[in-house]
């Protein structure tokens, strides 16, 4: 029998179109995401970068279907395996999308064995018996290079180091054979040496298992070492997107340019960006970056700049990038 | 430049609370650290989490008593004293906390916290305190009305600015900055680093800059010490140390740091970050070292000169790649 919503055929593992998310609290409306459009091509890693509060975690929550109850989604579609999974009544892709959280220290319940916590997820969302699940989990522990995978099944979270816990959580994200992994700054709490190992592991898993991944970070170095494509978020909107190398080598949106010039690897003189990211309850009209933008024009205060295609598979939401060129030379 | 602070073979033991029917055990978090910081210098300390960076800072401050070794401040020996006395003699050294929020009282407006600090340090005149606070808020780039705010009404970057203002009000010579940019956004980090450079020039400050972010340390510091399991394994001018790292651990750290150009890094460091509770014999780094030999497992490597003012503790540093 055919369902009424025939899957759309596409090359993308995930497509997000014009997604808006608002949160209501005490009469105020917080405009958290507004018109997010991005694609995760099959078998590749797409990065989402942006400063604290720009809406990165909210975007992942929308994809996972775990937005808080007070949230509304006035516009948008999230296409996964050909179906829109955004509407509240849409079937949720449990297990088909694996999630790697930010903090390996907070994400496991300390009173239960780590293995049992993952087996419980498998019981709910994966076919097979408990014995089969155990065999598979030990295999996964081996794949994420946990030392002594058999014994790991019986250990409590505090018996693992930070890096090992992040490996456990990656195993948990993989336990129901997902097609897509979404990761929320999974290496921020780790030392550089451990971070490097985890990034290597993620790269290897994507390659070996043909996974696709959406990877949230605020670290451009991590982005450069892992992601094929990137979307740069500012105040809940996409400022610029495209192949990571191109965006890092020739940043085009005034925000991306200024942000990258703050990077200690690149800065001639560390300046910072004047002003601060606006609170979600008081987003400026027009281009949300205009109060901090050195080349803002009168129309920037009233017109929302659309995300327009740019050569080389890129897209930029600013009509005044040429002025930025002149500004940089001045 | 004259030497401002010197630590000679400094060793610090941390007591671990004894369990029921179990004797107290102690942990040697700093083990024989020697360093010398010149006046006006920015001196960096880097290393993985738990290697003893904060404990070293607390010992230099006199908040933690050293088990052995000697600390000299501006030519005066200050070690061996009881913590209270040591702290008083070391008023010229101030500490900016790793967690800026933790250093501020959540129930007090930040202005009141700043005022309290000055009062404790014997500035009796209220008008003078108010004037110094206003001047210092301006110096860290905040409007005077920030004094009226509560800590939770400040962003991460603003909290750090207040933390700096609080310390600088006491007119220290040496400021110990513990992870001053951890958790900050790139743009905020850039403005904090710029502020630190301005304040250093304006007040003639000396910095001890603790961080695990090598890109930042490289940018800010004149000299750098690399710590591993409570010991300094390499120390030298920042330029030389980053350009020609002599210790295998320094090399591994540099290779692990992600860079914007996505350059292919060297081989990664095997094994988990180590624990002070299980210190390997011989060279402490040998279980993770790609260059380790039988000698490394048996004998502690001596500290040798690897260049002008550049020291390294490794049996095989000469065989560098
Ligand atoms: N429950 C909530 N009620 C009101 N506003 C919220 C709520 N949760 C988040 N926000 C706001 O929504 C915006 C986006 O938050 P989100 O957590 O998605 O940001 P983020 O990019 O993940 O930030 P970070 O890098 O700090 O994790 C922020 O301005 C935040 O203050
Ligand atoms: N009060 C204490 N009692 C016992 N052990 C402690 C105490 N404080 C810290 N430690 C231990 O001492 C070691 C060194 O800690 P320290 O805080 O100096 O490390 P660090 O290099 O500053 O690490 P981080 O980068 O995580 O801040 C760690 O193993 C820590 O667990
Ligand atoms: S002494 Fe040996 S084990 Fe230690 S760092 Fe040098 S080569 Fe490696
Ligand atoms: Mg977040
Ligand atoms: Mg510390």
CA distance A214 to A173: 13
| Tokens representing residue A154 in the block | 């019986």
Name the E strands within chain B: 3-16, 25-38, 42-46, 68-73, 76-77, 93-96, 174-178, 206-210, 223-228, 231-237, 303-307, 310-313
Instruction: Name the residue facing B188 among A191, A266, A272 (closest C-beta).
Output: A272
pLDDT at A258: 92
CA–CA gap between residue B71 and residue B89 (Å, rounded): 12
- Cβ–Cβ below 8 Å for B188 and A260: no
Interface of A with B in 24-83 (CB under 8 A): 51-52
- Looking at residue B316, its pLDDT comes to 96
What element of type H or E holds A109? none
What's residue A41's pLDDT? Answer: 95
CB nearest B185 (choices: A52, A225, A269):
A52
Query: Smallest Cα–Cα separation from B213: which of B49, B72, B50, B64?
Result: B49
Enumerate the residues of chain B whose CB falls inside 8 A of the CB of residue A265: 215, 259-261
pLDDT at B230: 95
Domain ranges of chain A: 12-96+178-324
pLDDT of residue B26: 79
CA-nearest residue to A197 within chain B is B268
Q: What is the pLDDT of residues A181-221, one digit of tens each?
A: 999 988 887 888 888 888 999 999 999 999 999 999 989 99
- Highest mean pLDDT among A1-5, A41-45, A276-280 belongs to A41-45
Give Rg (Cα) of chain A. 21
Q: Is B266 on the interface with A (CB under 8 A)?
A: no
pLDDT score of B64: 86
Comparing alpha-carbon positions, the chain A residue that sits nearest to B257 is: A192
Q: Which residues pair with A214 in a beta bridge?
A: A46, A182
Task: Supply the pLDDT for residue A93.
Answer: 82
Partners of residue A272 in chain B, C-beta under 8 Å: 187-188, 190-191, 194
In whole angstroms, what is the distance from residue A86 CA to residue A65 CA? 7
A128-132, A151-155, A278-282, range with the lowest pLDDT: A278-282
The residue contributing the CA closest to ligand 2 atom 29 is B50
Q: Which atom of ligand 1 is nearest to the CA of A218?
A: 25
Domain residues of chain B, as ranges? 3-92+172-320
The H or E element spanning position A72 is: strand A71-72
Choose which residue among B18, B50, B180 to substitute to test ligand 2 binding: the one with the highest number of ligand atoms within 8 A of its C-beta.
B50
What is residue B32's three-state secondary structure?
strand
CA A261 / ligand 4 centre spacing (Å): 23
Among A221-230, A279-288, B18-27, the range scoring the smallest mean pLDDT is: B18-27
pLDDT per residue as tens digits for the range A52-93: 889 999 999 999 999 988 899 999 999 998 899 999 888 888
Q: Is A134 exposed, middle or buried (0-12, 13-18, 19+ CB in 10 A)?
A: middle
**Residue B233 CA: which ligand 3 atom is closest?**
5
Q: Does residue B267 sit at the A interface (CB-CB below 8 Å)? A: no
Nearest to B258 among A164, A222, A273 (CB): A222
Cα angle value B64/B67/B18 (rounded, 5°): 75
So what's the pLDDT on residue B18? 54
CATH for A12-96+178-324 is 3.40.50.300
pLDDT of A244-255, one tens digit each? 999 999 999 999
| Percent with pLDDT over 90 in chain A | 62
Question: Is A264 within 8 Å of B216 when comparing Cβ atoms?
Answer: yes
A268 vs A37: which has the higher pLDDT: A37
ipTM: 0.82
Max CA separation in chain A (angstroms): 68
* Exposed / middle / buried, residue B303 (Cβ in 10 Å: 0-12, 13-18, 19+): middle
Determine if ligand 1 sits within 6 Å of the CB of residue A137. Answer: no
With H, G, I as helix, E, B as strand and everything else as coil, classify residue A8.
coil
A264–B191 CB contact, under 8 Å:
no
What are the structure tokens assigned to A3, written together? 């369902």
Q: What are the chain B neighbours of A163 within 8 Å (beta carbons)?
A: 272-273
What rounded mean pLDDT belongs to chain A? 89
DSSP conformational letter for B288: G
In tens digits, what is the pLDDT along chain B, a chain of 321 residues? 799 999 999 999 987 655 555 556 678 999 999 999 999 999 999 998 889 999 999 999 888 888 999 999 988 888 877 767 777 778 889 998 877 777 788 888 999 999 998 998 888 899 999 999 998 888 888 888 888 888 888 877 788 888 888 888 888 999 999 988 887 888 888 888 988 998 899 899 999 999 988 889 999 999 999 999 999 999 999 999 999 999 999 999 998 888 888 775 666 777 777 888 889 999 999 999 999 999 999 999 999 999 999 999 999 999 865
Confidence of residue A4 (pLDDT cuts 50, 70, 90): very low
Say if ligand 3 is within 6 A of residue B251 CB: no
Question: Do A164 and B272 lie within an 8 Å CB cutoff?
Answer: yes
The token pair that represents A92 in the structure block: 């949720």
Question: What's the gap in Å between B2 CA and the centre of ligand 5?
Answer: 28
Q: Do B256 and A196 touch (CB under 8 A)?
A: yes
Can you give the pLDDT at residue B23?
56
Tens-digit pLDDT profile for residues A95-116: 899 999 877 777 788 889 999 9
Q: Does residue A180 register a pLDDT over 60? A: yes
Residue A161 token pair: 């180091």
- Span from the CA of B301 to the centroid of ligand 3 (angstroms): 8
- The residues pairing with A15 across neighbouring beta strands, listed in sequence order, are A39, A79
Residue A231: per-residue pLDDT: 98
Inform me whether the pLDDT recorded for A8 exceeds 70: no
Q: What pLDDT is attached to residue B77?
A: 87
Angstroms from A89 CA to nearest CA on chain B: 37
Residue A221 to residue B265, Cβ atoms within 8 A:
no
* pLDDT at residue B302 in the model: 96
Of the CATH numbers 3.40.50.300, 3.30.390.30, 3.30.465.10, 3.40.50.2300, which one belongs to the domain with range B3-92+172-320? 3.40.50.300
CB contact under 8 A, B190 and A267: yes
Q: Nearest CA of chain B to the CA of A47: how many Å?
A: 14
């Amino acid at each position: 029998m055919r369902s009424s919503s025939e899957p759309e055929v596409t090359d993308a593992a995930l497509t997000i179109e014009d997604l808006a998310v608002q949160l209501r609290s005490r009469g105020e409306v917080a405009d958290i995401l507004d018109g997010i459009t991005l694609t995760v091509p099959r078998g590749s890693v797409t990065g989402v970068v942006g400063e604290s509060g720009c809406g990165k975690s909210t975007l992942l929550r929308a994809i996972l279907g775990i937005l808080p109850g007070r949230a509304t989604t006035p516009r948008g579609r999230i296409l996964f395996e050909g179906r829109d999974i955004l509407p509240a009544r849409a079937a949720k892709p449990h297990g088909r999308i694996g999630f790697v959280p930010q903090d390996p220290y907070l994400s496991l319940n300390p009173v239960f064995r780590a293995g049992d916590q993952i087996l419980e997820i498998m019981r709910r969302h994966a076919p097979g018996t408990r014995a089969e699940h155990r065999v598979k989990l030990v295999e996964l522990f081996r794949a994420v290079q946990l030392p002594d995978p058999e014994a790991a099944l019986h250990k409590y979270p505090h018996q693992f180091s930070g890096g090992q816990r992040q490996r456990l959580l990656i195993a948990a994200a993989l336990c129901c054979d997902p097609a897509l992994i979404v990761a929320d700054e999974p290496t921020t709490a780790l030392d550089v040496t451990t971070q490097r190992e985890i990034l290597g592991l993620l790269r290897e898993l994507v390659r070996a298992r043909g996974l696709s991944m959406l990877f949230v970070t605020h670290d451009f170095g991590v982005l450069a070492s892992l992601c094929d494509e990137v979307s740069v978020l500012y105040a809940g909107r996409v400022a610029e997107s495209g192949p990571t190398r191109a965006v890092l080598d020739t940043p085009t949106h005034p925000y991306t340019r200024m942000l990258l010039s703050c990077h200690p690897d690149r800065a001639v003189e560390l300046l910072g960006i004047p002003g601060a990211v606006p609170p979600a309850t008081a987003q400026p009209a027009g281009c949300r970056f205009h109060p901090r933008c050195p080349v803002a024009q009168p129309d920037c205060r009233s017109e929302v700049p659309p995300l327009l295609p740019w050569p080389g598979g890129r897209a930029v939401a600013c009509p005044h990038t040429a002025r930025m060129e002149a500004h940089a030379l001045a | 430049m004259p030497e401002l602070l010197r630590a000679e073979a400094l060793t610090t033991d941390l007591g671990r609370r004894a369990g029921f029917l179990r004797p107290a055990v102690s942990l040697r978090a700093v083990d024989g650290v020697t360093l010398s910081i010149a006046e006006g210098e920015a001196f960096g300390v880097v290393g993985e989490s738990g290697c003893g960076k904060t404990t070293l800072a607390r010992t230099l401050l006199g908040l933690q008593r050293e088990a052995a070794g000697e600390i000299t401040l501006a030519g005066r020996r200050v070690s061996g004293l009881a913590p209270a006395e040591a702290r008083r003699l070391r008023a010229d050294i101030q500490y900016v906390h790793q967690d800026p929020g933790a250093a501020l009282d959540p129930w007090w407006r930040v202005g009141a916290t700043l005022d309290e600090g000055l009062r404790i340090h014997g500035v009796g005149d209220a008008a003078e305190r108010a004037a110094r606070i206003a001047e210092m808020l301006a110096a860290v780039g905040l409007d005077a009305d920030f004094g009226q705010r509560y800590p939770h009404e400040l962003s991460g970057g603003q909290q750090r600015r207040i933390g700096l203002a609080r310390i600088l009000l006491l007119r220290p010579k040496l400021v110990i900055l513990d992870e001053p940019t951890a958790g900050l956004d790139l743009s905020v980090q850039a403005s904090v680093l710029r502020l630190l450079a301005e304040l250093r020039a304006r007040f003639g400050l000396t910095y001890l800059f603790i961080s695990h972010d090598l890109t930042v340390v490289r940018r800010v510091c004149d000299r750098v010490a690399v710590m591993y399991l409570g010991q300094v394994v390499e120390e030298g001018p920042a330029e030389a140390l980053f350009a020609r790292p002599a210790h295998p651990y320094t090399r591994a750290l540099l290779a692990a740091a992600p860079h914007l150009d996505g350059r292919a890094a060297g081989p990664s460091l095997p094994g988990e970050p180590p624990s002070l509770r299980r210190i390997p014999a011989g060279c402490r780094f040998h279980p993770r070292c790609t260059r380790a030999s039988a000698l490394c497992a048996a004998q502690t490597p001596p500290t040798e000169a690897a260049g002008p003012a550049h020291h390294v503790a490794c049996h095989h540093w000469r065989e560098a790649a």
